[in-house]
């Protein structure tokens, strides 16, 4: 391994032969796309890239370094999917069983037939909690899960799929909590079963002592093209399914995921809560390490069996079916966003999840790659960020060479 870079420029570990990834990472900064970011790659179970670069915040008075933590929005969903898969491996959950088998209250409002698979693949129609509902209520686990159990689906479950941008985490997390023999809260399950054994710095519910390490999210600039701005307003404006799922029917208000304002997600209150669809905080190295452990043992820790992994990474949403919330086609397996239009990753067979503004983490069994990219400068996207495309293109080049 070589150590490269200096303050404010890409620095970290790069294995021989992997310099192309460092160069692509540096190019993103040179082009002004990144302020502060990190990227990590595992290949065949070995860490071959672990780079950070840029600055902690817009003042550029502090470097983005190995100690920096980053909120990753929906990239969190992949870790939640792994936790569910671990419960399947242990015989605690069955993807084909009804949710109400494990969570009886969930059967209210004719939801008794919804399966775990339908819930995880965003087919349950539970994209929001009908207002009035406050941010404080949304950050209280028992309150939000009780409201979801009592909620009426927006569409007949199984007849469509649409992004459960925030609700996915509480729904899947409550399933884990219900079947966990220790009945741990979800953040503790992740800490004790995934991140702790792996020594990976990633939290869903950040301890207070780590708060000073969190780099704030920097909002994206509004689209310069009025036509693009108008299109986004039509797709994601108040009252649309996109707005409902991204804001929890206004509970996060204009402090939500997709509108360029991130006030709530920079707050200690949100960082401390457990929002398993959107508030995971950690490093690129931690995310890549977790995904590497779904492929094969990492220092003796193996998170998913091959059979569960293969089931989880198989797309179950209908081909080219428009997402009822995001409008464009999206592709889901068992909690993972699988390879598709919104998530090209490194081609067929990959599983993971992107996050609003640009972050992503995924694994490719075919290439034996685990990858993660995190950043503080948001772009106007929910997935398929050009910065990650350049990085994965560089990985393909290395593998091809």
Higher pLDDT, 263 or 274: 274
Active site residues: 74
Residue pLDDT, tens place only, 76-125: 999 999 999 999 999 999 999 999 999 999 999 999 999 999 999 999 99
Residue pLDDT, tens place only, 283-327: 999 999 999 999 999 999 999 999 999 999 999 999 999 999 999
Residue pLDDT, tens place only, 5-21: 445 689 999 999 999 99
pLDDT confidence band for 222 (50 / 70 / 90): confident
Structure tokens at 370: 């685990």
**pTM reported for the whole predicted model:** 0.95
Residue 1 has pLDDT above 70, yes or no: no
What's the Rg (C-alpha) of the chain? 20
Q: Which residues have CB under 8 Å from 149's CB, separation 6+? A: 103, 105, 106, 108
pLDDT confidence band for 376 (50 / 70 / 90): very high
Residue pLDDT, tens place only, 319-361: 999 999 999 999 999 999 999 999 999 999 999 999 999 999 9
Separation CA 395–CA 389 (nearest Å): 10
Residue 382 confidence (pLDDT): 63
Residue 381 has pLDDT above 50, yes or no: yes
Separation CA 3–CA 106 (nearest Å): 52
Higher pLDDT, 230 or 56: 56
Residue 383 confidence (pLDDT): 65
Residue 6 confidence (pLDDT): 46
pLDDT confidence band for 259 (50 / 70 / 90): very low
Residue 261 has pLDDT above 90, yes or no: no
Q: Which domains does the chain have, with CATH numbers?
A: 68-361 (3.40.710.10)
Cis peptide before 258 (omega within 30 of 0): no
Q: Let me know if 233 is exposed, middle or buried by CB neighbors in 10 A (0-12, 13-18, 19+).
A: middle
């Amino acid at each position: 391994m070589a150590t490269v870079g200096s303050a404010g420029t890409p620095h970290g570990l790069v294995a021989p032969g992997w310099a192309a990834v460092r160069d692509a990472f540096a190019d993103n900064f040179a082009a002004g796309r990144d302020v502060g970011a990190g990227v990590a790659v595992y290949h065949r179970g070995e860490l071959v890239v672990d780079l950070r670069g840029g600055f902690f915040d817009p003042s550029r008075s502090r470097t983005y370094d190995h100690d920096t933590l980053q909120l990753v929005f929906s990239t969190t969903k992949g870790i939640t999917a792994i936790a569910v898969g671990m419960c399947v491996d242990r015989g605690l959950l069955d993807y084909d069983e009804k949710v109400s088998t494990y969570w009886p209250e969930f059967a209210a409002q004719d939801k008794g037939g919804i399966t775990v698979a339908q819930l995880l693949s965003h087919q349950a129609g539970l994209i929001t909690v009908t207002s009035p509902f406050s941010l404080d209520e949304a950050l209280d686990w028992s309150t939000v899960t009780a409201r979801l159990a009592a909620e009426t689906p927006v569409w007949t479950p199984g007849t469509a799929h649409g992004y459960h941008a925030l609700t996915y985490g509480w729904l899947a997390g409550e399933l884990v909590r219900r079947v966990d023999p220790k009945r741990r809260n979800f953040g503790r399950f992740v800490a004790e079963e995934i991140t702790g054994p792996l020594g990976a710095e990633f939290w869903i519910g950040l301890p207070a002592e780590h708060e000073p390490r969190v780099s704030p999210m920097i909002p994206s600039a509004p689209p310069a093209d009025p036509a693009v701005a108008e299109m986004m307003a039509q797709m994601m404006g108040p009252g649309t399914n996109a707005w409902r799922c991204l804001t929890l029917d206004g509970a996060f208000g204009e402090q939500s995921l997709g509108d360029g304002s991130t006030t709530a997600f920079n707050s200690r209150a949100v960082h401390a809560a457990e929002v398993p669809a959107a508030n995971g905080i950690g490093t690129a190295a931690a995310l890549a390490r977790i995904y590497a452990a779904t492929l094969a043992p990492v220092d003796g820790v193996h998170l998913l069996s091959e059979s569960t992994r293969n089931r989880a990474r198989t797309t179950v949403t209908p081909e080219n079916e428009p997402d009822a919330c995001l409008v464009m086609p999206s592709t889901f397996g068992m909690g993972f966003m699988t390879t598709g239009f919104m998530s090209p990753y490194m081609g067929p067979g990959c599983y993971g999840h992107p996050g609003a503004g640009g972050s992503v983490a995924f694994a490719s069994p075919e290439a034996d790659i685990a990858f993660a990219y995190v950043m503080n400068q948001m772009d106007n996207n929910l997935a398929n960020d050009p910065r990650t495309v350049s990085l994965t293109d560089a990985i393909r080049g290395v593998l091809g060479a």
